[in-house]
Structure 1
Amino acid sequence: MEKETGMTRTVLITGAAHGIGAASARMFAESGDDVVVTDIDRDAAATVADEIRAAGGTATGNFLDVSDPEAWQALSRELRAANRPPAVIVNNAFFQVGGAAHEQTEDDWSKQLSVTLSSVYRAMHTFHDTLTEARGSMVNVSSVHGVLAWAEQPAYAAAKGGLISLTRQLSVDYAPHVRVNVVLPGAIQTRQWNHQSSEDRELAGRQATLQRLGTPGEVASVIQFLASDGASYVTGASLLVDGGMTTTLGA
């Protein structure tokens, strides 16, 4: 549902225990939404929800393995029983394994596509009716990996690129009641960078036109915009949130 004054939406966010997902959860809650903080890390999801409630917001931390159809059905039963049908879904969960194609196992490949790409299908399959009834919105989190190539990321790139095409398709299939858009973050300061060298972080910053890494909140604010009345005529859009990285690198 496009949010109106005094109305509370339920916003479901996957991969919401850390990074962009957690920042999005806090931002939606600050604006008065009821947030379902989901993650495979149950304890971390609960911590984010606790922090939101401590700040005066409304949220629950819920376990969700986005690669498991049964987990989606269990969450659906729980939310419907609690009269919390999602009006907005933010698909942020991902899984990443490095290595060239011949170095990745079938399980590596399949899990990356299941968590990052097929989870969006599962989200719409599970909650298409609540999104439609609410005239709601879905925002998918892709990556500049969907339009640029770095070494040894075949499944991740395929999944993130597929999200762009899937977003366009869903925006057609569920129009006019549900808007579906996708954001493409660049190098964002999340825990993924904890495993990278300072040299790699500095290089990523230099590759952006703005000469720095982005923050999770800077992506979250765009996600929140796409789910708002301010974007009521925006659907099927792919919005770069990359500090100009794709401009600098020539995508």
Structure 2
Amino acid sequence: MGRGLLSGKVAVVTGAASGIGAAVVERFLSEGARVIAVDLAGQGPDRPDLLAISGDVADAETWQRIADTARAEFGRLDVLHSNASTVVRAPAHELTERDWDRQLSVNLTAAYLGARACVGLLRESRGAIVLTSSVHALVGIPRHPAYAAAKGGLVSLGRQLAVEYGPEVRVNTVLPGPVLTPAWDGIGEEDRRRSAEATAAARFGRPEEVAAVVTFLACAESSYVTGASLLVDGGWTAMKDSA
């Protein structure tokens, strides 16, 4: 076994097919973990250190399959990275109830379902949960009411889980800012430029940069960090261009 930060560990990553999730899978693998990659779209072929599960993280049955797979295939689970996300952009008065419910289910309820299904395994291994929230949890941005509500809920949920399951399980939350993922594919060049310029770093973040922070929170290097919310936003929330 290698000497990476997650050597010998088993991790679950949701929203694993693209963006931040895909970058976390690759980083975890490079650090010696065996990974169960979960995505609605599915993944590539399995290999000894990577198993793919296709399923809806808003469905409790999917989470039972994930927990059962971790125990049956690897005999343990050390890290749960709850990262799956969906967004429908519309002001509250135009957002359908169905779209509201779906965003809350995928972005927030899935994290609860994951913790409920996996906490027994994580307690056994004295493991870690990392939730992916967003700067939307802290700052109002037009046309994101359900997304913001869910991401704000994740920050509170992360703290609550840390209290409920410590000291056996550490729970932390990352809040990415403008990170160049497929979620930006439908955003125009002018809006992209303005978002990048609104950061102190003067650029978009890369999924790999978020993955580095997730890896830190998942590994023993952060052994005294729990109940925390860590911004990974290039200074987006710190920067204002008005008096």
Q: If the length of structure 2 is used for normalisation, what is the TM-score?
A: 0.94
Cα distance, 1:86 vs. partner? 1.9
Q: Report the equivalent of 1:120.
A: 111
Cα distance, 1:84 vs. partner? 4.1
Q: Report the equivalent of 1:67.
A: 58
Q: Report the equivalent of 1:36.
A: 36
Q: Distance in 2 between matches of 1:88 and 1:34?
A: 10
Q: Distance in 2 between matches of 1:131 and 1:81?
A: 15
Is contact 1:46–1:62 with CA below 8 Å preserved after alignment? no
Equivalenced residue count is 239
1:142 has 2:133 as partner: yes
Q: How does 1:1-251 map to 2 (within 5 A)?
A: 7-42=7-42, 45-46=43-44, 58-249=49-240
In structure 2, relative to structure 1, the CA distance for the partners of 1:129 and 1:195 (3 Å cut) is same
Report Cα offsets for 1:18-74 as digits up to 9, x if no partner. 0000000000100110011110001xx226x6xxx5xxx711111121011112112
Report Cα offsets for 1:121-144 as digits up to 9, x if no partner. 001100111000100000000000
Q: Which residue type is aligned with residue 212 of structure 1?
A: R
Is contact 2:158–2:227 with CA below 8 Å preserved after alignment? yes
Secondary structure of the corresponding residue to residue 239 of structure 2: helix
Is contact 2:5–2:219 with CA below 8 Å preserved after alignment? no
Secondary structure of the corresponding residue to residue 84 of structure 2: coil
Is contact 1:10–1:84 with CA below 8 Å preserved after alignment? no
Cα distance, 1:94 vs. partner? 0.8
Cα distance, 1:233 vs. partner? 0.2
Structure (1 or 2) with the greater helix fraction:
1
Q: Distance in 2 between matches of 1:6 and 1:209?
A: 31
Secondary structure of the corresponding residue to residue 131 of structure 1: helix
Secondary structure of the corresponding residue to residue 82 of structure 1: helix
- C-alpha RMSD of matched pairs (Å): 1.8
Secondary structure of the corresponding residue to residue 79 of structure 1: helix
Cα distance, 1:249 vs. partner? 3.7
Cα distance, 1:89 vs. partner? 0.3
Cα distance, 1:80 vs. partner? 2.0
In structure 2, relative to structure 1, the CA distance for the partners of 1:203 and 1:22 (3 Å cut) is same
